[in-house]
Amino acid sequence: MARRHRNRDNNPDANRRQGRAIADLRQRLAGTGRVVVLTGAGVSAESGIPTFRDAQTGYWQRFRPEDLATAEAFRRDPQTVWRWYAQRRAAVQGVEPNPGHTALARLENRLSEFTLITQNVDGLHARAGSRRVLELHGNLLRVRCFSGCVSYSVGDGSPDARAAFDGDSSAAETVPEVPRCPHCGDYLRPDVVWFGENLPEQAIQRAFGAAESADLFLVVGTSAVVYPAAMLPRTALDCGATVVEINPDRTPLSTFVTLSIRGTAGEVLPRVIV
């Protein structure tokens, strides 16, 4: 992070390039029809939620997402995985959407044909006011029975739902008892998509449909290494869309996109969507 900011802040050429790219995108947005946005963890970074592949603290230091975000990891060590999610649930509830999220909510209000696709599970787009969000990887604030009987969200009033999130407040200090489904006795698990699991069918179908018919496809804050989400910008490009990336770093997409804007979501999006 420090390295990126230093580069941009002290580099007049980079600032000028960024300014031109922002003006270019603003113009394209004004004259275009169908707009599709794909977001990743980077859009929540300025809210204080660590990204997956940049993070240097806590569990993130010791485990790769591929080691914890799997059904096998949960079956092997449910307490560790449950605690990891309980801590993240608490973290998400303690932060606010940032100006990047609110700019995207503003964009939705202005356009008649707009689709917001997110890989994020933190619910911050909805909290910022986005109404129609395709959540490709589920939602951190929901849990479900491993065998599919029930699903509960944080804030649901039923005693069973409250019991599911009972241990969250003490998850940092204690080894929690992983809650069980009151119907079948199987474990409850976070309602997120782990590696090797299928994405929610309707959401991914709609996302590909939107990518295929997009005029302008905006990719914000994703490393674009996790599939099938990473295919969406390429699909849009193949189908003739203008594809614009907003990211402080290069990604595997950077060489393919029409326009790359080097900067953070919270800084660039409010300047594009004024």
Interacting residues with ligand BJW (CB under 6 A): 40-42, 45-46, 51-54, 65, 69, 119, 121, 137, 192-198, 221-223, 225-228, 247-249, 251, 264-266
Q: Which range binds Zn ion by CB under 5 A, 135-143, 174-182, 238-246, 262-270?
A: 174-182
**Of 33 and 185, which has the nearer Cβ to Zn ion?**
185
Strand 216-220 with 35-39, pairing? parallel
**Residue with the CB atom nearest ligand BJW in the bound state:** 42
CA distance 78 to 74: 4
113 binds, among ligand BJW, Zn ion, none (CB under 5 to 8 A by kind): none
Indicate the DSSP class of residue 47. T
**Of 210 and 232, which has the nearer Cβ to ligand BJW?**
232
Is residue 73 within 8 A of residue 130, CB to CB? The reply is no
**Of 113 and 249, which has the nearer Cβ to ligand BJW?**
249
Q: Which range binds Zn ion by CB under 5 A, 23-31, 175-183, 207-215, 253-261?
A: 175-183
249 binds, among Zn ion, ligand BJW, none (CB under 5 to 8 A by kind): ligand BJW
The total number of residues shown for the chain amounts to 274
Contacts of 231 (CB under 8 A, 6+ apart): none
- DSSP-derived 3-state class of residue 166: helix
Annotated active-site residue 101? The verdict is no
CA distance 146 to 268: 40
Shortest separation between residue 269's beta carbon and ligand BJW, angstroms:
9
Shortest separation between residue 23's beta carbon and ligand BJW, angstroms:
19
| Near Zn ion by CB under 5 A: residue from 5, 16, 132, 183 | 183
Residue 65 sits at φ, ψ, to 5 deg, of -55, -35
Closest among 268, 274, 269, 273 to 4, alpha carbons compared: 268
Shortest separation between residue 123's beta carbon and Zn ion, angstroms:
24
**Of 176 and 182, which has the nearer Cβ to ligand BJW?**
176
Task: Name residue 186's amino acid.
Answer: D
Is residue 214 within 8 A of residue 36, CB to CB? The reply is yes
Angle between helices 2-9 and 12-30 in degrees, nearest 10: 90
Residues that bind Zn ion (CB under 5 A): 145, 147, 149, 181, 183-184, 186
Give catalytic residues, as residue numbers.
137
